[in-house]
Structures are given as C-alpha cells and as structure tokens.
C-alpha cells in the first residue's frame, strides 16, 4: 500500500500520457476517414454526360448519370431509350454500337468510376450506327 501511494503521481502521469497519445491517434484516424468519405461522396455524386459521336457530329443524352449510376447496363439502357429509325435499324435487339462491346468501352467506364469530377463519356459510332437513331430535336 505504501508503494502505491508513493507512486500514485507517476501512475497518473503515465495514464495522462497514454490518453494524450491515444487521442492524437484517434484524431489522425478520424481525419483520414473524413477525407475518404468526402472523396467517395464526390465520386458518387459527379455528373456523367453520355455522347454518341460520329466525326464532328454528336448527340448528348438529355439526362446525366450520377457517378453511382454508371454501369454498362445503365448506359446501354439509356441509349436504348432513344427512338430508332425503323428502316435503318441494325440488329435484332433494338440498336447496335460495336464500341459498347469492346474492351476500350469497359476501360473508359472504369476510368469514369474512379474519377471525382464531372466527365463526359463519348461513344464513337460508325455512320450507319449513328444514323440508326431518330434523335429528338
């Protein structure tokens, strides 16, 4: 008991130092987590425009996607909502754009998913692919 009362000040000092170091560690971790949350929020809330291009011509879809909505299926679904010229229809499924079946398209989607700023997804079309659509004015 005598040892404890003689060293009580030292024990209190050690507890204070451990508490101080722990609080600094927690502050650093909280700062990192807040930074990661802000980055993820900006990634998910960015605006992505989709453009079908043919040389100097392009058609930009009227509604932009949020970053969290960007996927191959969502992009193809949005393109599928564009009216098709019945006499210029390519393929049996509604529309055909060969670029959307390639590796470059998937790489571009991944780049967009990693980006934190608003961006444009340009989908290059051949002449007949571009002309199959009846773009609204």
Closest among 30, 8, 10 to 18, alpha carbons compared: 10
Task: Tell me the pLDDT tens digit for each residue of 79-129.
Answer: 999 998 877 766 667 788 999 999 999 999 999 998 889 999 999 999 999
pLDDT of 8 reads 82
Mean pLDDT of the chain: 90
Q: Cα-flanking dihedrals φ and ψ of residue 57, to 5°?
A: -85, 150
Within the chain, residue ranges assigned H as helices are 2-45, 72-80, 103-114, 127-131
Cα separation, 90 vs 103, in Å, equals: 21
Q: For the chain, what are the domain ranges?
A: 1-45, 46-131
């Amino acid at each position: 008991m005598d040892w404890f009362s003689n060293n009580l000040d030292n024990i209190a000092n050690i507890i204070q130092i451990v508490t101080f170091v722990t609080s600094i560690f927690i502050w650093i971790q909280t700062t990192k987590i807040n930074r990661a949350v802000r980055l993820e929020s900006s990634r998910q809330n960015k605006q992505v425009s989709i453009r079908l291009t043919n040389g100097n011509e392009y058609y930009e879809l009227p509604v932009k996607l949020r970053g969290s909505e960007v996927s191959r299926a969502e992009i193809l679904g949005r393109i599928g909502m564009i009216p098709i010229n019945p006499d210029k229809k390519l393929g049996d499924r509604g529309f055909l754009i060969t670029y959307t079946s390639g590796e470059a398209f998937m790489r571009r989607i991944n780049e967009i998913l990693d980006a934190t700023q608003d961006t444009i997804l340009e989908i290059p079309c051949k002449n007949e692919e571009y002309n199959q659509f009846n773009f609204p004015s």
